[in-house]
Structure 1
């Protein structure tokens, strides 16, 4: 029994020793794994840091490049703007000078147009005045000729008025009467007409009163007798009628 117990104790001790050895191996393996994991994590961390650093450097490089490009772009824009400003100012100056030239030309055209209109108006007034003067001169000339012919007409009328009834059929008297009628027809065609006076109201524009009398059969201010016929040429009085006015 004692040997059997010793054998059991020896087996238990061997088993415990073996167990402890296994545990020691396991702990060693775990330490090795932990060490490996730690080294791997450190390597990963290092790689990540390197990548981050690299990325950061690349970003900085890009930022620097971008900044340089922006600076160049800004400088180009500023140069372009500086180039554009003079061109715009030049255009504005050119436009201003062009507008001034156009205004000057328009003003000159307006002045010439006004001068032309005034010249045309003056010429039209001169033409009308010349025509009026010409017409007046013509009328004055005709009036002068008629004035010279009126005494002849008066003499025809006096001569024919002094013929008695017995001599009216005389060929000479009839010849003079025909000449007188032809003369009066020609005067009428020229626009010369006698002024009506007998029985008309006295008008100083056409009549010249040389006598004044009384007549109950006539009204007031009436021409009772005509001593000399008056004549008109169109609207011009060539000679006033010499009359006697009554009442």
Structure 2
């Protein structure tokens, strides 16, 4: 009996040892699998990191190349060609010359107009004494002689002369009954007269004329009050 118990105890211990050995083998295999898995994952992570680094490096190189290309592009754009500079220079010169010519043309036209005005006024001043003599001569004719053909002819010549002067812009200055204006009237006498208001033209000694809104000859007048 004791021998059977010893054998049974030995068998149990052997079985337990086998089980423990099997379990240890399983654990070892599992640990090995886990270690291999970790290695594979680590290797994959390293490869992915390398690929990302490579991509970033490529992106960086591409970015640098683009920046360099942009710099070159903008650099070329900012730097003008000699032909373009010459064209701009000639265009600016032509524009300035055209502006100067336009100013010269306007100035010349203005000077011609002023010269024409001065020349016309000079001629009108020389004609006005003839008009004065016509008026004095017609005013001195007696009433019974005004119907004479010669006097009627002279009156028509006078009216034609005044019509021509009016057409070119020569107008007589209104004087009698108007307020004295030194721009148009030349006062040579002063009189106190209740029939006229203050500073009014009472009489005209010589008729004045304007040419295109400028005075050719002032009216010679007598001023009342």
Asked if TM exceeds 0.5, the reply is: yes
Gaps of 5+ in 1: 1-22, 102-108
Spell out the pairing of 1:80-229 with structure 2 (5 A cutoff).
80=58, 82-83=60-61, 86-87=64-65, 89-90=67-68, 93=71, 97=75, 132-215=110-193, 217-229=195-207
Q: CA deviation at 1:50?
A: 4.2
Q: Which runs of 5+ in 2 are unaligned?
A: 80-87
Q: In structure 1, what is the Cα distance between the partners aligned to 2:13 and 2:190? A: 170
Q: In 2 relative to 1, CA 157–81 (structure 1 residues): closer, same or farther, beyond 3 Å?
A: closer
SS in 2 for 1:196: coil
CA distance, structure 1, for counterparts of residue 202 and residue 183 of structure 2? 17
Trace 1:12-23 onto structure 2 (pairs within 5 A): 23=1
Q: Could you tell me the TM-score, scaled by structure 1's length? A: 0.64
Query: How many matched pairs?
Result: 212
| Matches of 2:215 and 2:206, distance apart in 1 | 14
Residues 190 and 57 (structure 1 numbering): CA distance in 2 closer, same or farther, change over 3 Å?
closer
Q: Is residue 234 of structure 1 aligned with residue 217 of structure 2?
A: no
CA distance in 2, matches of 1:74, 1:177: 116
Alignment RMSD, CA only?
4.0
Which residues of 2 match residues 32-43 of structure 1 at below 5 A? 33-43=11-21
- Structure 2: how far apart are the matches of 1:150 and 1:41? 153
TM-score of the two chains, using structure 2 as the length reference: 0.69
Q: Which has the larger radius of gyration?
A: 1
Q: Distance in 1 between matches of 2:104 and 2:78?
A: 38
Q: Distance in 2 between matches of 1:36 and 1:238?
A: 153
Q: Which has the higher contact order (CA 8 A, sep 6+)?
A: 2
